[in-house]
Amino acid sequence: MSTAPPAGTPTGTPEYLRAAVQRLLAAHDPAHTPAAEFLGARYDAGLAWIHFPVGSGGLGAPRALQQLVNDEFTAAGAPVLDSGRHGIGLGMAAPTLLAFGDEEIRRRFLRPLWTGEEVWCQLFSEPGAGSDLAALATRAVRDGDHWVVDGQKVWTSLAHEAQWAILVTRTDPNVPKHRGMTYFICDMTAPGVEVRPLRQATGEAEFNEVFLTGVRIPDAHRLGAVGDGWRVATTTLMNERVAIGGHAEPREGGLIGLLAGTWRERPELRTPGLHDALLRLWVDAEAARLTGERLRQQLAAGQPGPEGSAAKLAFARLNQQISGLELELLGEEGLLYDDWTFRRPASPSMLQGTPGYRYLRAKGNSIEGGTSEILRGIIAERVLGLPQEIRVDKDVAWKDLPR
Amino acid sequence: MSTGRGPGGTGQRQPPDLGYSEVEQELRANVRALVAARSPQSAVLARTESAEPVDTGLWRALGAELGVTGLAVPEHLGGAGAGWRETAVVLEELGRATAAVPYLGSCVLATAALLAVGDTELLPGVASGERVAALAVPFATAPGAAFPVGVTATGDGLLRGAVGRVADALTADVLLVPALTAEGSPGLWAVRGAAVDPLVSLDMTRPLADLRFDGVPGRLLARGPDALAALDAALTTGAALLAAEQLGVAEWALETTLGYVRTRHQFGRPVGSFQAVKHRLADLWVAVTQLRAVARYAADTVATGSPDAPVAASVAQAFASQVAVTAAEEAVQLHGGIGFTWEHPAHLYLKRAKSASIALGTADRHRARLAGLVDLPYPVQEQQA
Ligand SMILES: Cc1cc2nc3c(=O)[nH]c(=O)nc-3n(C[C@H](O)[C@H](O)[C@H](O)COP(=O)(O)OP(=O)(O)OC[C@H]3O[C@@H](n4cnc5c(N)ncnc54)[C@H](O)[C@@H]3O)c2cc1C
């Protein structure tokens, strides 16, 4: 492969990376290369996640330089995956597979995940276990070199589109809840996986109920040790919060840009009160953007920390306030909705939706990926060092917990 | 602002540096140590009630020992040749301590004006800290405000008139006075010997004063557009860097409150273990974290001469004012009765935060300014029936 790093090259320098990007762009003109093919070449060149090891889409380069690589590709108009469809794969499955998957797993899963050929979903929440994820009841029982899984998951985004899922199960009900969980990769096309659309407040079914009945998962698709699923899940969740809130954006890059655009184009809608509210939100959006930028500069090499929770919390509040104001600004038009017919989106996106959709969908931002209350608790305890909540279930075997 | 997406473009050509360099961290540690030694918190309150509300001892030490009074001034003019980013770090520390020194007035507002007019005469003394300069405008003046008309200069350079509520003027050796010339055009004058009437200020650690000029001689520093530009540079730099001071205030409030709720017990447990308290402090931490990014950006834009500086300064003041005030108010509230007690320093921070939220333009004025800068225009005035 012409774009692979030659042996002995200092692959972690900006100069090397810039040159590598240019070589790749020269060999695969983004304007005339199908997206999946381009992304495959980018993966093979180690320019997907540059801090991943060679062979897993990376170069073992400093994570801090990823943005530089992304910026170069963006400037060249290179394709990127749609984060609505591939957010769970890119933001959550990939870092977890890297941290806990063996060579075999990484080789099998990371490339098609990166090219977008395989979509991922997250089988975590259950009807009885949302915020208290560690209370989950879906059982996995060992059967030779396989596990057999039975249970029900809920609110699973894009389960209807996904080939693969990250799945947390209970493998030992006789120990306290955090200690008896095990984490798997689940084939969504396996017998016994049944996906039923679950309609949400927007009218569409972006998420689903997933019934798992006697689903057989090879032990080779286990991530982390048996009983260590909570630790693996924590890695996923930390990455989730960063993925949701911590990306670099240009000024007016998010929902605020749409609102500001409407303000500029529709002078007849303007009122003094809305003007004041708009400017407040514009300032808040700028603060959130700069915070994300600073977080990125600071995180540079490290793993995502609880700071991601702050970004996610701020992002949820901002989206809700902006989309709420947008409807008010539209006034009479805000009384209408585009379409209540039942839909199952393949690629949900707030930016492409209509104002009414955005308003409703934003309400999910403070629930999905950990509610804002849970995130405040995480910040208070892990960042600020305040005393933990009283835990009444910490030393009780899972099977003895009141349900 | 001609390129990029949306008004204001993407804001900057180079990615802004929102962190702190090693040199800046070291600077912070030095200032913190000096302030702790020279102006311990226990002494700050006592000083506000003394005959000498400004801490001249700390001021001299900042200049003579640390040499941080001339950070933004080039070396050939007697300064340290650093810049506004470093100056902002000093302000963070002075805010943390509610230090009663004229640093914002002399080392930021007046220095920015003197740099803008290319002064070489006054800057060396101001940079060394031997002279204190003050910009003679009401402390509430926002960048972009109309040129003040309270003072006029006669043809032979005698100034008459008054300016109210000027910050850091009590100890100033030289005043930089925006005044109209006899022909009615703007000018900036250096003046010694105005009448200074101290006022009782809400912020006990930054006293204000009224100034009167009864035919006082002044030296013209700039006239016309140059005078306007100098005033605007001073106010924009001031607004951008005041956010750093507000960050220091907010950080003190958050950290002190965290320390208190961890140890204060009620109902048999630390009050910081109650979720109602934890969630409020988590929200405050998020806000302070955001303020740090906003304040660093504002300092970076003035340091690099970015065309985005006016936007950054107004974003900073619109945001910092609210966060610092909330932080100080939460500190008072979550300390309970002790937080409302004169001997506890929380009220000094509340007073500093609230008056800083009005200084150099209220949040509302800065939002109004942003409306023009980023093209989010006002509604067309409706005709009253
Ligand atoms: C749009 C959307 C997409 C989703 N996608 C997925 C997905 O793909 N995969 C998946 O696994 N899950 C998904 N979820 C589920 C989501 O993770 C859970 O809904 C969430 O974690 C909250 O759990 P819950 O719904 O059981 O609420 P509960 O935990 O029952 O919470 C109810 C209320 O109580 C509050 N609360 C709970 N515990 C505490 C506490 N300790 N302190 C203070 N307040 C508390 C909560 O904040 C909330 O307000 C999705 C949810 C939404 C809305």
Whether the per-residue pLDDT at B10 is higher than 50: the answer is: no
What pLDDT shows up at residue B272?
97
Nearest by CB to B318, from A283, A383, A387: name it.
A283
What is the chain A residue with the closest CA to B270? A387
What pLDDT shows up at residue A7?
55
Whether the per-residue pLDDT at B368 is higher than 70: the answer is: yes
Which of A350, A341, A367, A364 lies closest to A84 in space, CA to CA? A350
Instruction: Give me the amino acid identity at A142.
Output: R
The model's pLDDT over B254-265, given as tens digits with 9 standing for 90+, comes to 999 999 999 999
Among A51-55, A64-68, B355-359, name the most confident range: B355-359
What pLDDT shows up at residue B69?
98
Closest ligand 1 atom to Cα of A121: 8
Residues of A in contact with B292 (CB under 8 A): 291, 294
pLDDT, mean of residues B139-160: 94
What pLDDT shows up at residue A293?
87
What is residue A53's DSSP assignment?
Answer: P
Do the beta carbons of residue A24 and residue A1 sit within 8 Å?
no
Which of B256, B277, B253, B250 lies closest to B266 in space, CA to CA? B277
Residues of A in contact with B5 (CB under 8 A): 250-252, 257
Distance, in Å, from the CA atom of A312 to the CA atom of A305, rounded to the nearest integer, reads 12
Strand runs (DSSP E) across B126-168, as ranges? 133-135, 151-153, 158-167
Instruction: Quote the pTM value.
Output: 0.92
Between helix A14-27 and helix A66-75 the angle, nearest 10°, is 30
Encoded tokens for B367: 């939002």
B291 falls in which pLDDT band (50, 70, 90)?
A: very high
The model's pLDDT over A72-120, given as tens digits with 9 standing for 90+, comes to 999 999 999 998 999 999 999 999 999 999 999 999 999 999 999 999 9
Do the beta carbons of residue A322 and residue A281 sit within 8 Å?
yes
Encoded tokens for A213: 């009945």
∠ CA(A383), CA(A387), CA(A388), 5° rounding? 90
Distance, in Å, from the CA atom of B142 to the CA atom of B330, rounded to the nearest integer, reads 27
Do the beta carbons of residue B72 and residue B111 sit within 8 Å?
yes
Do the beta carbons of residue A166 and residue A153 sit within 8 Å?
no
Q: Is A240 a catalytic residue?
A: yes
What is residue A400's DSSP assignment?
Answer: G
Q: With CB atoms and an 8 Å threshold, state whether B374 touches A282.
A: yes
Q: Residue A194: in which H helix or E strand, if any? A: strand A193-198
Bin B90: left if φ > 0, else alpha if -120 < ψ < 50, else beta: alpha
Q: With CB atoms and an 8 Å threshold, state whether B293 touches A260.
A: no
What pLDDT shows up at residue B8?
40
Distance B199 CA to ligand 1 centre (A): 55
Q: Looking at ligand 1, which residue's alpha carbon is closest to its atom 2?
A: A368
Which entry of A204, A240, A307, A368 is annotated as an active-site residue? Answer: A240
Q: With CB atoms and an 8 Å threshold, state whether B319 touches A381.
A: no
Name which of A131-135, A184-188, B73-77, B152-156 the model is least confident about: B152-156
Mutate to test the interface with B, among A294, A295, A318, A329 (most CBs of B within 10 A): A294
pLDDT, mean of residues A244-263: 84
Residue matched to tokens 């020194």 = B101
The model's pLDDT over A315-340, given as tens digits with 9 standing for 90+, comes to 999 999 999 999 999 999 999 998 89
What is residue B378's DSSP assignment?
Answer: P
Distance, in Å, from the CA atom of A46 to the CA atom of A18, rounded to the nearest integer, reads 13
Distance, in Å, from the CA atom of B311 to the CA atom of A107, rounded to the nearest integer, reads 48
Closest ligand 1 atom to Cα of A132: 29
Whether the per-residue pLDDT at B308 is higher than 70: the answer is: yes
Which of B32, B28, B206, B250 lies closest to B106 in space, CA to CA? B206
A4 falls in which pLDDT band (50, 70, 90)?
A: low
pLDDT, mean of residues B281-299: 97
Distance, in Å, from the CA atom of B235 to the CA atom of B353, rounded to the nearest integer, reads 18
Encoded tokens for A356: 């009414």
What pLDDT shows up at residue A287?
96
Strand runs (DSSP E) across chain B, as ranges? 133-135, 151-153, 158-167, 174-180, 186-191, 195-198, 208-223, 265-266, 269-270
H helix and E strand count, chain A: 12, 8
What pLDDT shows up at residue A389?
86
Q: Which residues of B282-303 are buried (b: 16+ CB within 10 A; e: fewer)?
A: bbbbbbbbbbbbbbbbbbbbbb
Q: Looking at ligand 1, which residue's alpha carbon is closest to its atom 38?
A: A131
Residues of A in contact with B281 (CB under 8 A): 380, 384, 386
Please give the C-alpha separations between residue A382 and each of A132, A208, A244, A300, B77, in angstroms, as whole numbers: 17, 32, 19, 20, 48
Phi (first) and psi of residue B209, to 5 degrees: -145, 155
Phi (first) and psi of residue A352, to 5 degrees: -90, -10
Q: Does A272 touch chain B (CB under 8 A)?
A: yes
Contacts of residue A210, Cβ cutoff 8 Å, sequence gap at least 6: A123, A152, A153, A154, A156, A159, A165, A193, A194, A195, A196
Do the beta carbons of residue B187 and residue B220 sit within 8 Å?
yes
Work out the percent of chain A whose per-residue pLDDT is above 70.
94
Residues of B in contact with A252 (CB under 8 A): 5-6
What pLDDT shows up at residue B9?
39
What pLDDT shows up at residue B193?
86
Q: Looking at ligand 1, which residue's alpha carbon is closest to its atom 32?
A: A131
pLDDT, mean of residues A14-43: 95
Whether the per-residue pLDDT at B200 is higher than 80: the answer is: yes
The gap between the terminal CA atoms of chain A, to the nearest Å, is 56
Phi (first) and psi of residue A193, to 5 degrees: -95, 120
Looking at per-residue confidence, does A310 or B62 come out higher?
A: B62
Please give the C-alpha separations between residue B195 and each of B53, B131, B174, in angstroms, as whole numbers: 18, 18, 12
Name which of A91-105, A141-155, B69-83, B371-385 the model is least confident about: B371-385
What pLDDT shows up at residue B380?
84
Whether the per-residue pLDDT at B350 is higher than 90: the answer is: yes
Do the beta carbons of residue B98 and residue B205 sit within 8 Å?
yes
Best probe residue, ligand 1, of A119, A167, A367 (max atoms within 8 Å of C-beta): A367
Calculate the CA A338 to chain-centre distance.
27
The model's pLDDT over A350-391, given as tens digits with 9 standing for 90+, comes to 888 899 999 999 999 999 989 999 999 999 999 999 999 888
What is the chain A residue with the closest CA to B372? A279
Looking at per-residue confidence, does B233 or A307 come out higher?
A: B233
Contacts of residue A28, Cβ cutoff 8 Å, sequence gap at least 6: A37, A38, A41
Mean residue pLDDT of chain A comes to 92
The gap between the terminal CA atoms of chain B, to the nearest Å, is 39
What pLDDT shows up at residue A394?
85
Phi (first) and psi of residue A155, to 5 degrees: 60, 35
Q: With CB atoms and an 8 Å threshold, state whether B285 touches A384.
A: yes
pLDDT, mean of residues B75-79: 96
Q: With CB atoms and an 8 Å threshold, state whether A294 touches B296.
A: yes
* CB atoms near residue B200 (< 10 Å): 7
Q: Looking at ligand 1, which residue's alpha carbon is closest to its atom 45?
A: A373
Best probe residue, ligand 1, of A123, A371, A388 (max atoms within 8 Å of C-beta): A371
Which of A217, A257, A224, A279 lies closest to A351 in space, CA to CA? A257
Q: Residue B46: in which H helix or E strand, if any? A: helix B41-48
Residue matched to tokens 């695969």 = A28
Do the beta carbons of residue B129 and residue B59 sit within 8 Å?
yes
What is residue B77's DSSP assignment?
Answer: G
Q: Which of residues 364-393 of A touch B (CB under 8 A)?
A: 373, 375-377, 379-381, 383-390
The model's pLDDT over B95-110, given as tens digits with 9 standing for 90+, comes to 999 999 999 999 999 9
Q: Which of residues 6-35 of B touch A (CB under 8 A)?
A: 6, 8-11, 15-19
Instruction: Give me the amino acid identity at A319.
Output: N
What is residue A342's DSSP assignment?
Answer: -
Work out the percent of chain B whose per-residue pLDDT is above 90.
90
Whether the per-residue pLDDT at B4 is higher than 90: the answer is: no
The model's pLDDT over A229-239, given as tens digits with 9 standing for 90+, comes to 999 999 998 87
What's B112-125 look like in SS3? HHHHHHCCCCCHHH
pLDDT, mean of residues B263-286: 97
Distance, in Å, from the CA atom of A12 to the CA atom of A16, rounded to the nearest integer, reads 7
Question: Is B262 exposed, middle or buried, given 0-12, 13-18 or 19+ CB atoms closer than 10 A?
Answer: middle
Whether the per-residue pLDDT at A302 is higher than 70: the answer is: no
Distance B141 CA to ligand 1 centre (A): 47
A258 falls in which pLDDT band (50, 70, 90)?
A: very high
What is the chain A residue with the closest CA to B373? A279
A199 falls in which pLDDT band (50, 70, 90)?
A: very high
Q: Residue B86: in which H helix or E strand, if any? A: helix B84-96
